[in-house]
Homo-oligomer: A and B are copies of this chain.
C-alpha cells in the first residue's frame, strides 16, 4: 500500500493528476451544522479534559439517535465514544488473550486482521465469494460450533463488498455465538448507507456478549473528527471499556462532542440529511454502472456503502496490478489481500471521492481489467 501511496505522491509532485480510489474518505462536505457547532464548542471553552466514556450529554444524544432509527431502548450509559477504528483493538484486547481464536468473515475491513495479528490472536478466516453475493453460507454456524472462537467480527453493511446480511442470518449467528460462548462485534459503520434500506441492526439483541460498533464518520462525512461509538448492554463490558480508554486515549476532544450533540438534537433534520446522503450514494452507484456498461460484468453491484470489490482475471496478483495501475493509468486502488488471504486477486475501488476522480478512475480500472481478460 505504501508503494502505491508513495508513487501517487510522486506523480502529483510532478504536476500530474492521480485518480484517488484508495480511501473511504467522503468528498461530500461535512454536515455543516456539525462543523459550526464544533466551532461553537471551541469558542465556548470545551478544550478541557472530558470523561473517558464520553460526555453523558453526547452519549444520551447518541442513544436517542439510535433509538429513533432502530426502535431500540438504549440509554447513554450503554454507549462509549472513541474513534471507531480504535474500538476494534479495544474490543479484541478486552475479550481475548494471546492465542485465542477470532473468526472473521472475509473479505473484511483490514483493521480486523491487523489488530488481531498485532494482539497475537489466531485468525480463522471464513471467506465469502461473489457467487453467493458475499453472503456467508450455512456452514458458518457449524464452523462457530466447531472452532468456538473467543470473538467473531461481523460487518453488515459490508466494507469492501457492499453486501447486506439478512435479519435471519444475523440473528442465527448470534444464537450460534451464544451457544459457543463467543463475543460478537457487529460493525455497523456503514449501516445507514444502505441504498434499499434493508440494513438490519443487531442493536436490539439481548445477547450480553454482543457489542455494536458504529461511527459518525461516513454518514456525516466527518472522518477527521474521529467520532465512533460502541453500544453494549453489559455494564461489565462498558466498565472494562471505560477503564481501557482512560488508560489509553483518555477521552476524545470535548468540543467535537459538543458539536455532534447539538447536531443530533434535531433528529428530524438528521433523518433528512441521512436520507439525502443515502440517495446521493445510490444515485452515484447507478450513474457509474450506467456510464461504464462493462462494469456490471466485472463486479457485483454493491447494496450499501461506497466500495467496489473487483476480482481480477487469471489469478493476477492484486498488489502487482495496483502498482501497474498507478504507474500506467495514475489510478490508486487498494490490493485485495488487505481484506483477507483469499482475496489476493482482487482490488478495492471507492466511489465516495471527488466526481473527477471517481468516474474517470473507475473507467480506467475497468479498462485495465478488461485488457487483462483479453490476454
B-binding residues in A (CB < 8 A)? 23, 25, 29-30, 35, 38-39, 42-43, 45-50, 83, 85-86, 89, 98, 111, 114-115, 118, 221-226, 244, 246-256
Across-interface contacts of A35 in B (CB, < 8 A): 42-43, 47
Across-interface contacts of A246 in B (CB, < 8 A): 114
User: B247–A249 contact, CB under 8 A?
Assistant: no
In the bound complex, how far is the Cα of B118 from the Cα of A248, in angstroms? 10
A27 to chain B, nearest CB (A): 9
Q: Which of B114, B226, B250, B254 contacts A253 (CB 8 A)?
A: B226
In the bound complex, how far is the Cα of B254 from the Cα of A222, in angstroms? 11
The 13 sampled A-B contact pairs (Cβ below 8 Å) are A25-B49, A30-B45, A35-B42, A38-B42, A47-B221, A47-B223, A83-B250, A85-B248, A86-B248, A98-B98, A224-B251, A224-B253, A226-B249
11 other A-B residue contacts (CB within 8 Å) besides A226-B249, A226-B250:
A46-B224, A47-B225, A48-B223, A49-B223, A49-B224, A86-B248, A89-B248, A118-B244, A224-B251, A249-B249, A253-B253
Across-interface contacts of A250 in B (CB, < 8 A): 83, 85-86, 226
In the bound complex, how far is the Cα of B60 from the Cα of A208, in angstroms? 47
A150 to chain B, nearest CB (A): 17
User: B247–A225 contact, CB under 8 A?
Assistant: no
User: B49–A247 contact, CB under 8 A?
Assistant: no
A274 to chain B, nearest CB (A): 18
Residues A25 and B48 in contact in the complex (CB < 8 Å), given A86-B249, A249-B85: yes
Across-interface contacts of A29 in B (CB, < 8 A): 45
User: A255–B83 contact, CB under 8 A?
Assistant: no
User: B50–A43 contact, CB under 8 A?
Assistant: no
User: A114–B247 contact, CB under 8 A?
Assistant: yes
In the bound complex, how far is the Cα of B47 from the Cα of A255, in angstroms? 14
Most chain B beta-carbon neighbours within 10 Å: one of A111, A115, A224:
A224
User: B253–A225 contact, CB under 8 A?
Assistant: yes
Across-interface contacts of A114 in B (CB, < 8 A): 246-247
Across-interface contacts of A47 in B (CB, < 8 A): 30, 35, 221-225
Across-interface contacts of A221 in B (CB, < 8 A): 47
